[in-house]
Structure 1
Amino acid sequence: MPSMKLKSAGTGGLVYSTDAGSMCPACRQPLAACTCAAQAAAAALRGDGTVRVHFETKGRGGKAVTVVRGLDDLPPDTLAQWGKQLRTACGAGGAVKDGGVLEIQGDHREKVQAWLQAQGRKVKLAGG
C-alpha cells in the first residue's frame, strides 16, 4: 500500500504519514530518523566510568574467558598496552577487541580487578 504523506509543519516536524510510526517527542521526527536517539546511544556507550570485569563461557565452546568492558575511553595504543600487561600479569593469552573490550583466557577476575584498581580505575565484578 503506498504511503500518504502530507506537508510538513512550519516547525519542520512531520504532520501525517501512514508509514512513519511513532514520533520522537523531542525533535518531532519519526523514530527512524530521530537524532536524539543517536545522541542518547552515544552517551550510553561512554558509560558511567566504571570498568566491569565479567566471566563468560557462552559462545566459546565451553572455554572460560575473563572479559573487561568499560575501557573505551582509552586510546587504542594504550588499550593494547594494557591488554599486554594484563595478559602477562595473569600468565594467559587473550585479545583486545573493538570498543574497549579486553579478553583474557581463563578465570582471572581477582587478578584483573586488583591490577585495574592499581591503575586508578573504579572496578566492579559483574556476571558469572
Structure 2
Amino acid sequence: MDLQDQLKNLFPDHQFKEEAVEETSNVWLQDEPLLCKYEKRKGKPITIIDGYNGATQDFKILAKEIKTKLSVGGSFKNDTIIIQGDYRDQIMEILKEKGFSVKRVGG
C-alpha cells in the first residue's frame, strides 16, 4: 500500500489533483562554452563554473538550480559559481540538458 492509497483511506471525501510541473528556464544561452574547473582550496575540493556573459541575475538562478539538484552547498561570487565538492560530470550533464556548451578544464 503506497502513500496515495493510505491518504485515500484517511480522507475518502478529498479530491486529489495532480499538478503538472513544467520546467521553464529563461536563462540566456551563449555562444562560448562555460568553463567547468576543479580546484582545491584549503584542502577541500570545489567545482567552479565560469565564463558566463549573460545577465548576473540569470547566472544566480542557474547557480541555485545546480545547488538544488545536486543537494550541495555553494556560492555565487564575482560572476562565478562555486560548488562544494567535485561534481564536474553531474554539472556538465545538467548544463548540457539546459542547452549550454560546456568545456572541462583541469583534469
Q: TM-score range by the shorter chain?
A: 0.5 to 0.7
Spell out structure 1 runs of 4+ moving beyond 3 A.
Answer: none
Structure number, greater radius of gyration = 1
Distance (Å, rounded) in 1 between the aligned partners of 2:39 and 2:68: 20
Separation in structure 1 between the aligned mates of residue 98 and residue 84 of structure 2, nearest angstrom: 21
Residue of structure 1 equivalent to 2:33: 50
Inter-partner Cα distance in structure 2 for 1:103 and 1:76 = 15
Query: Given the alignment of the two structures, is residue 94 of structure 1 paired with residue 77 of structure 2, yes or no?
Result: no
Query: Percent sequence identity over matched residues?
Result: 30
Higher strand share: 2
- SS of the aligned residue for 1:49 comes to coil
Within 2, Cα distance between the matches of 1:123 and 1:56? 17
Q: Secondary structure at the match of 1:64?
A: strand
1:80 alignment counterpart: 60
Query: Shift in Å at residue 96 of structure 1?
Result: 0.7
TM-score normalised over the length of structure 1: 0.57
State how many pairs are aligned.
Answer: 77
State the SS of the aligned residue for 2:44: coil
TM-score by length of 2: 0.67
Matched, 1:64 2:45: yes
- Unaligned runs of 5+ residues in structure 1 are 1-47
